[in-house]
Structure 1
Amino acid sequence: MASTETCQLNEAHPPKERSIEVFSAVLPEIKSQLLSLRHLHPPAYFDAVKDLSDNDLTSFTVDNLENVRVGTTAYGMHIFGKIQLPKSDDGYIHVRVFVGGGEADKCSVHCIHIEAKENAEGGKEFRAIMKKEDELKWFNE
């Protein structure tokens, strides 16, 4: 499996034609996975968008893809994307897409980022909704 050691990502940049093509192809899968995550995990993961309906949460289009980072391995391309949730207040999701052999018709959503971090009390906080200032970086989950 690819890792930060085996797949160097380029710097975050606005999406180019190739990334737009790939994200357009997997947009329905991204929306489906996002809704599955919302209904699978405790509500705290989605506190930032708790007032949004499922339709509002998934109202984004490929035009809301703000930044991407791309890395290549021998078996394909890994594209990390930052998508704005237009019906939210400063809500974003980070998505990882894999393109097998570099072919857009062989692409799939690897995962949507869910962050786990320690809080001041020594416990864990989880979130699936990022903010504009959150860096688009490597993730496996």
Structure 2
Amino acid sequence: MSSSEQLNFNAPHAPQSNAIEAFNIILSTIKQEVIKSRNDWDKHEPRMWSRATGLSDAELTSFSIEKDLVEVRSAATTYGTIILGKIRLPAVQDGAGEGFLHVRIHDPPNRGAEDIIFHSLFTDEIRDEPNSQPIGYCAIQTVEKPLRFFNE
């Protein structure tokens, strides 16, 4: 597994056709994982998905890749390409503004798009110090939150 220090991500940019295709291949998986994550976090820490309070699963996952994938970054590894994507959640509009997911996917080498896999959603446990207790939780990011490598 790679770490942020080992990876050379390109600068954040608007998605091109290859990124749109990659995210569309696993769109149903991304939506399933959003619902699963919210349900799991709601059992022990509902603040993680609090910006989606009152939204149904269908409303929360009403995004499309063509309209709502707004930013991507990628880095090549020996085992393929890691792609990070910032996806707008159209149903999330609150005092913090628009809501976004940060999603990590992986495209292994030499097989085309058929083997693209979902890795994770960024769920942020906000801490004052690295090993301290969380002071906040956030799965839905603001537009200002930079798209950076994450290991969740």
TM-score by length of 2: 0.87
Q: 1:44 to 1:76 in 2, by over 3 A?
A: same
Question: 1:110 maps to what in 2?
Answer: 119
Question: 1:16 maps to what in 2?
Answer: 16
Question: CA offset at residue 95 of structure 1?
Answer: 0.1
Q: Which runs of structure 1 show a deviation greater than 4 angstroms over 4 or more consecutive aligned residues?
A: none
Question: CA offset at residue 127 of structure 1?
Answer: 1.3
Matched, 1:58 2:69: no
Question: 2:103 maps to what in 1?
Answer: 95
Structure 1 gaps, min length 5: none
- Matches of 1:101 and 1:2 in 2, distance apart? 16
- Matches of 2:49 and 2:79 in 1, distance apart? 34
Matched, 1:76 2:80: yes
Question: 2:27 maps to what in 1?
Answer: 27
- Matches of 2:5 and 2:145 in 1, distance apart? 22
- Matches of 1:2 and 1:51 in 2, distance apart? 37
Matched, 1:49 2:60: no
- Matches of 1:73 and 1:6 in 2, distance apart? 9
Per-residue Cα deviation, 1:66-117 (whole angstroms, up to 9, x for no partner)? 0000100111000000000011111110000000115211101100001111
- Matches of 1:137 and 1:31 in 2, distance apart? 21
RMSD (Å) for aligned C-alpha atoms: 1.5
**Range with greater deviation from structure 2 (30-39 or 97-106):** 97-106
Question: CA offset at residue 28 of structure 1?
Answer: 0.4
The secondary structure found in structure 1 opposite 2:91 is coil
- Paired residues, number: 140
Question: CA offset at residue 51 of structure 1?
Answer: 1.8
The secondary structure found in structure 1 opposite 2:18 is helix
- Matches of 2:7 and 2:127 in 1, distance apart? 27
The secondary structure found in structure 2 opposite 1:11 is coil
**Range with greater deviation from structure 2 (94-103 or 107-116):** 94-103
- Matches of 2:113 and 2:106 in 1, distance apart? 9
Question: 1:5 maps to what in 2?
Answer: 5
The secondary structure found in structure 2 opposite 1:5 is coil
- Which residue type is aligned with residue 34 of structure 1? V
- Matches of 1:93 and 1:13 in 2, distance apart? 16
The secondary structure found in structure 2 opposite 1:130 is coil
Counterpart among 131, 134, 138 of residue 142 in structure 2: 131
